[in-house]
Structure 1
């Protein structure tokens, strides 16, 4: 019987090849060396220099062996210096990494660097190692991104005036304000930012025009180390506007007129620029409690009964024209406009309207603005002359020119005659001679009396004939103290005011 011979040589060769192949695959899958380093990095911005500072950490994977960094390659190519006590200035290259430990190195790169890469070569030397036996080595590489938060720039040491912020306080009625630079940084270089406080005369307590600068505006600047200023101005004692503005005195508007320029956003505290660059209350004020004018009036009575009213508008706060109204009795009225700084604008009130006079502004009587006509002390008085004989007794009253009509009452015996004597004329009353020894002449409007004795010559008594004018001296009742005396050339005649004492005159 034939039995084939089985050969095991080829199957064994195939199995051996497969075993060798699988072993080789296992060897390739295993790292060439279990020794390695691990790199990580963190980054911060140094605002003093504007550089990015990277702290690299290199970790030794081995817990039984110390690693030595044999080479360091950095991109950007700036030094990587060891972070360790007593290692000032030492490079990371050549540094030993403790067993199962780590070391750190610091690298500075420009602030606009977008990424950084560190490559570290390390070796693990042991005692007894010789040149014939090379130690295990490894190389690790790490790249980190730096620009996610933008470029790193140095922290500013000052603030540009065009970017500076401020804060302010404002007291308009008191004419006070302060302005302060915000933050801790001064303005850069020799830059200056001016601010100005200014007050105005105003025609109303609300905004209105025209307005005129009052006094001197207060202006100062922030800069050159000055970070806070205080401004003070005088405020008029009348309607006013006070403004805290951005800029120096060259920004002041004087006057502020209708359809003219305005401060607008330059007022600090405004909603627009540049005023909104300062935090604080609105930097403007309108107010006051009286007109910026000084209306005044004086009065002068004339002998003819008229009154001259002098109107003026020339006080220290007079900045606007004033419309006066002069009112007299019987509905008489006259309006007069007086420009600022003007005085002695005269208005004559007729005699028939001068009983009571009022001067008004805006419908209100001004201070010391009422008056009544009063007879001046230097007005000439009427005179009385007589013409007496044995049959008649004539009395004549004469009224000088330039005065008022005067009423005269002539009484002799039981008869009384009254006359009104116009200025520059005379009136005569003749009585039949009688037994009464005197006649009485009374000027009731002036409160004066004159008693004249009837005693003509050749009629059983004294002489006769016409007497010279007898002046009625004195003033109205209550005007001047009683006792004014006129001594005439022929006889003695006394006109007595107020007390109505009768003086005898022999005619």
Structure 2
């Protein structure tokens, strides 16, 4: 029977063809039957030297044969040495044997800026003294993706150093220290200076003048921290912690002049921002850096001479004085340090209470009211009496103030204001009263005179009298009369003596 034979032959033919195809694929895709080595690599950075350290791994594919590395080439061409377990000293990779089914590590040091490296290994497999196979393998590593490897610094350059600081302006103290673990390189030094100033206000204002001696010191490799101290004036002040030595100090800070700006430590910009800490500047103080003073001298005409001075120990500024009188007088005078001004005279009409002000505030002992000088001539009182009239006259010397005067005789009173250099007379009709009173209220004086008419009135008219002018019938206590303070004037036959706060009695 032929047909069955034919049906079996075709499927067998197809199966056989498939087996041949599969065997070919395995032979091409599987290199296990070929002798070869495989190279892989990793890299690290040596911060001490700044070199890249490449670790090459070379593997032997053969499970039953050792591979001998006959030739090793590299790019860059620096040495490639093996890392053999248990061997302290590394050996060149070339000539070493990689055990069967094993691998060997090797290292290569290349410059830190290397972007790629290549290693080629030629290996032979030897059996019973004969080379049975050989293979050349290549390995590469891309280093461009890594940042360039640079050595770890052993010190820090002055222009790159960072610092930190403390600052106490009211006490005039500060510290500055180098940050980090590295010293400054070589002989590098960074100076810092603390300086204090006289200031016109407790806030920033100009002009300012250096007070005392600024304190300056430097940070170096041997000295990584410094302490600075300055004296603070006993008045308004500014204290600054600045970057640099004493040459950086501004002796006078004036309007439109130099400023420290970002040289102050703790500033937002360079170089002050290279130090971390509080703001290195202070403005304060509770006293003014001037010593304004005033003295007053009353004049007989009621005016007051005001003398202004600016010569205290801490006077550093011109002082703008303002002198005010209660009745509208005002005048401003600027007095330079160490000087005085006595040109201000407050007129009598504008005086009243006088005040001397600086910055709108009355200075110490800067208030005064006119007081009559003891050496001013007093008004003189004279009388003239006859049997019909009793006349009282007050004469006010020149150069004085007008004097209000009250004349009283019996139940009659007259008031007059006597101008300086003038006289006023009040005449009363003679009566039975034997005394008259002349009061000077502005001077707190009161005078009493006894009516003694001239001649003999014969018991008629005013109360009679003697043939001759009389002398005082009642006297004043000696202690009530200041020496040289009373004017004694004789008019006709009358003598008057004036005493403060006492009634002095005379005969007329």
TM normalised by structure 1 equals 0.72
Specify the alignment match of 1:107 in structure 2: 108
Q: 1:324 aligns with which of 321, 326, 351?
A: 321
Q: Find the aligned partners of 2:42 and 2:30 in 1 and give their Cα distance.
A: 31
Question: C-alpha offsets along residues 9-33 of structure 1, whole Å, 9 cap, x if unaligned?
Answer: xxxxxxxxxxxxxxxxx99999898
Contact 1:222 1:229 (C-alpha < 8 Å) held by counterparts: yes
Specify the alignment match of 2:186 in structure 1: 189
Measured after TM superposition, the shift of residue 152 of structure 1 is: 2.8
Structure 1 window deviating more from structure 2 (349-358 vs 228-237): it is 228-237
Specify the alignment match of 1:373 in structure 2: 370
Q: Find the aligned partners of 1:425 and 1:467 in 2 and give their Cα distance.
A: 27
Q: 2:500 aligns with which of 480, 497, 503?
A: 497
Specify the alignment match of 2:307 in structure 1: 310
Specify the alignment match of 1:59 in structure 2: 59
Q: 1:154 aligns with which of 136, 144, 151?
A: 151
Question: C-alpha offsets along residues 208-242 of structure 1, whole Å, 9 cap, x if unaligned?
Answer: 54444444444433323433445555566766555
The change in CA–CA distance for 1:453 and 1:206 in structure 2 (over 3 A counts) is closer
The answer as to 2:98 corresponding to 1:97 is yes
Specify the alignment match of 1:3 in structure 2: none
Q: 2:352 aligns with which of 338, 350, 355?
A: 355
Task: Trace 1:114-133 onto structure 2 (pairs within 5 A).
Answer: 114-124=115-125, 129-130=128-129, 133=130
Question: C-alpha offsets along residues 288-347 of structure 1, whole Å, 9 cap, x if unaligned?
Answer: 777655444332222332111222344455444443332224433323233344334441
Measured after TM superposition, the shift of residue 206 of structure 1 is: 6.0
Q: Find the aligned partners of 1:180 and 1:307 in 2 and give their Cα distance.
A: 62
The change in CA–CA distance for 1:271 and 1:313 in structure 2 (over 3 A counts) is same
Contact 1:386 1:466 (C-alpha < 8 Å) held by counterparts: no
Specify the alignment match of 2:160 in structure 1: 163
Contact 2:476 2:504 (C-alpha < 8 Å) held by counterparts: no
Contact 1:385 1:467 (C-alpha < 8 Å) held by counterparts: no
Secondary structure of the structure 1 residue equivalent to 2:252: coil
Q: Find the aligned partners of 1:345 and 1:120 in 2 and give their Cα distance.
A: 107
Specify the alignment match of 1:88 in structure 2: 89
Contact 1:326 1:360 (C-alpha < 8 Å) held by counterparts: yes
The change in CA–CA distance for 1:149 and 1:414 in structure 2 (over 3 A counts) is closer
Measured after TM superposition, the shift of residue 82 of structure 1 is: 3.4
The change in CA–CA distance for 1:244 and 1:371 in structure 2 (over 3 A counts) is same
Q: Find the aligned partners of 1:78 and 1:339 in 2 and give their Cα distance.
A: 84
The answer as to 2:14 corresponding to 1:44 is no
Contact 1:299 1:310 (C-alpha < 8 Å) held by counterparts: yes
Specify the alignment match of 1:477 in structure 2: none
Q: 1:446 aligns with which of 425, 428, 443?
A: 443
Specify the alignment match of 1:249 in structure 2: 246
Which ranges of structure 2 fall in alignment gaps of 5 or more residues?
Answer: 1-25, 457-463
Specify the alignment match of 2:79 in structure 1: 78
Q: Find the aligned partners of 1:72 and 1:458 in 2 and give their Cα distance.
A: 161
Secondary structure of the structure 1 residue equivalent to 2:247: helix
Contact 2:298 2:305 (C-alpha < 8 Å) held by counterparts: yes
Question: C-alpha offsets along residues 180-229 of structure 1, whole Å, 9 cap, x if unaligned?
Answer: 43433222212222333444455566655444444444443332343344
CA RMSD of aligned residues (A): 4.8
